[in-house]
Amino acid sequence: MAKPNIIISIDTSAETETADFGRAFIENLCHADPRLVPERLSTTEGYKEPFLGIDDFVANWWAIPIKTTVDGQTRPDSFDGPSWKRKSTLASRGMISHGITDLRHHKYPSGIWYECRWVKDIDFNHLFDAWVRLSNADIGMLHVFTDREKQDPQTEDDSWFETGSFGGPAKPGLPNMGWAMAYGANYAAEVDVVRIRSEGFPVDEIDGVTVVRVTDKLSDVVDDFEQFSRRRAELKALFRPSLFWIT
């Protein structure tokens, strides 16, 4: 049996490439628990460089300027973001993709993606809320995946959900509902807060972003998946039927 793993995934229109954003982001991660501090860094897949602390991470890794020429035209400044990995004590990995600006000066959302082996004594919910607040998330998800949801074989929609993807520019949307979902301004009309609260589901407002949780504790997904699954189905029924791809 595979060990459960948590996924945090956030899409945001915020200016993630700024040093202030980068510092707040990595401080949230490193201060959450010593077992979450990155060990190796990369902008590709090598992970050969050591993590040398918050100052070095922000100055040399957070946002690396790149220039791209397409059909003779130089695209507006864009930035490579870092990937990181941890192997000892508690395996984890993450990456930042800063939103790309195209030749028409349209900027695509930035992405925060983080995966970590599940342990009950780390407050991943607090970390999720901190990143939602920092990024003023357009959409976000926190979920813990167990064997019960790791489908084999996978459908395409299963794969989108299990990797924490919101479909990308070609197919934006919500594959499935995680234990916690953060709905920004573009999803505000989809969330009937009064109705959801009246059915006993936890709802928080974080600087204009609505965070809805299926149950009170993330560990419920691991400890009682049947109950979690039943409550998730009940919560989904309070949203537009076609909003989530997996029904």
Portion of the chain with pLDDT greater than 70, in percent: 93
Q: How confident is the model at residue 153 (pLDDT cuts 50, 70, 90)?
A: low
Is the CB of residue 140 less than 8 Å from the CB of residue 128? yes
Domain residue limits, the chain: 5-236
Amino acid symbol at 123: D
Q: How confident is the model at residue 1 (pLDDT cuts 50, 70, 90)?
A: low
Burial class (CB in 10 A: 0-12, 13-18, 19+), 48: exposed
Express each pLDDT in 26-40 by its tens digit.
999 999 999 999 999
Say if residue 19's pLDDT is above 80. Answer: yes
Say if residue 239's pLDDT is above 90. Answer: yes
Q: How confident is the model at residue 97 (pLDDT cuts 50, 70, 90)?
A: very high
Tell me what pLDDT residue 150 has: 79
Q: How confident is the model at residue 149 (pLDDT cuts 50, 70, 90)?
A: confident
CA separation for the pair 41, 131 (Å, rounded):
20
Q: How confident is the model at residue 139 (pLDDT cuts 50, 70, 90)?
A: very high
List of long-range contacts for 70-79, beta carbons under 8 Å, 24+ apart? 70/103, 73/103, 75/100, 75/101, 75/102, 75/103, 76/101, 76/103, 76/105, 77/101, 79/17
Tell me what pLDDT residue 107 has: 76
Tell me what pLDDT residue 72 has: 63
Say if residue 11's pLDDT is above 90. Answer: yes
Tell me what pLDDT residue 131 has: 98
Express each pLDDT in 189-206 by its tens digit.
999 999 999 999 999 999
Tell me what pLDDT residue 61 has: 96
Average pLDDT of the chain? Answer: 92
Tell me what pLDDT residue 69 has: 67
Express each pLDDT in 56-75 by its tens digit.
999 999 999 887 766 666 66
Tell me what pLDDT residue 67 has: 74
Mean pLDDT of 174-198: 96
